[in-house]
Amino acid sequence: MNVDTDLSEGSAGALFAVLADRNRRRIIERIVDEGPATATALSRELGITRQGVAKHLGGMAEAGVLASTRTGAEVHYRLVPGALEPGTEWLTRVGREWDLRLDALKRHVDG
């Protein structure tokens, strides 16, 4: 996965690039629901090859969505606090704009 910007700069684009893939969304959901996990555990639980999971994890870490901690030979991945906020902020802003437009249209039609 090639991400042009990182989430530390508040980039919704980097987050949406991560979320565009179903398997990456599944990885995030698993980590959110059950806590940090290794590539091996995620591979076993999600039915994706370990190599595939490792590639996803690397791209997600590069985008600033996941961070890793090495314990001996194992690397545990966890969600970075606030990593999903740029997407939430963008969706909220766009939703607010549409609400304003729809309210104006309703006033015009009812008018």
pLDDT of residue 41: 97
Q: Give pTM, 2 decimals.
A: 0.73
The tens digit of pLDDT for each residue in 35-93 reads: 999 999 999 999 999 999 999 999 999 989 999 999 999 999 999 988 888 888 888 88
Burial code of 66-98, b = ≥16 C-beta within 10 A, e = fewer? Answer: bebeeeeeebbbebbeebbebbeebeeeeeeee
Higher pLDDT, 5 or 17: 17
Query: What pLDDT was estimated at residue 2?
Result: 42
